[in-house]
Amino acid sequence: MLVFEFKAYGKPPQLAAIDDAIRSAKFVRNSCIRLWMDVKDTGKNDLQKYCAVLAANFPFAIW
């Protein structure tokens, strides 16, 4: 896994936006992992399509 570490100095609204982005990315990642584990022969294209479904169903998942 690729990990980036840094010190962020920002205003509270900026830090809240970063937290929301991280939370959204974790939700999409975990949903795709669950689909990959549950559905046999799930490919890259299937995961891409599923991300579009998530974006349509959950407004916070739009990137």
Number of domain units in the chain: 1
pLDDT in tens, the chain (63 residues): 888 888 878 999 999 998 998 998 899 999 999 999 999 899 999 999 998 899 888 888 765
The predicted model scores a pTM of: 0.74
Name the residue with tokens 């990642």.
Answer: 29
Q: Considering the domain boundaries, does residue 2 fall inside one?
A: no
Provide the domain limits for residue 35. Answer: 12-61
pLDDT at 63: 57
Q: Considering the domain boundaries, does residue 32 fall inside one?
A: yes
Q: Considering the domain boundaries, does residue 5 fall inside one?
A: no
Which residue, among 38, 33, 31, 37, has the nearest Cα to 54 in the 3D structure? 31
Q: Considering the domain boundaries, does residue 46 fall inside one?
A: yes
Q: Considering the domain boundaries, does residue 17 fall inside one?
A: yes
Q: Considering the domain boundaries, does residue 19 fall inside one?
A: yes
Residue type, 63: W
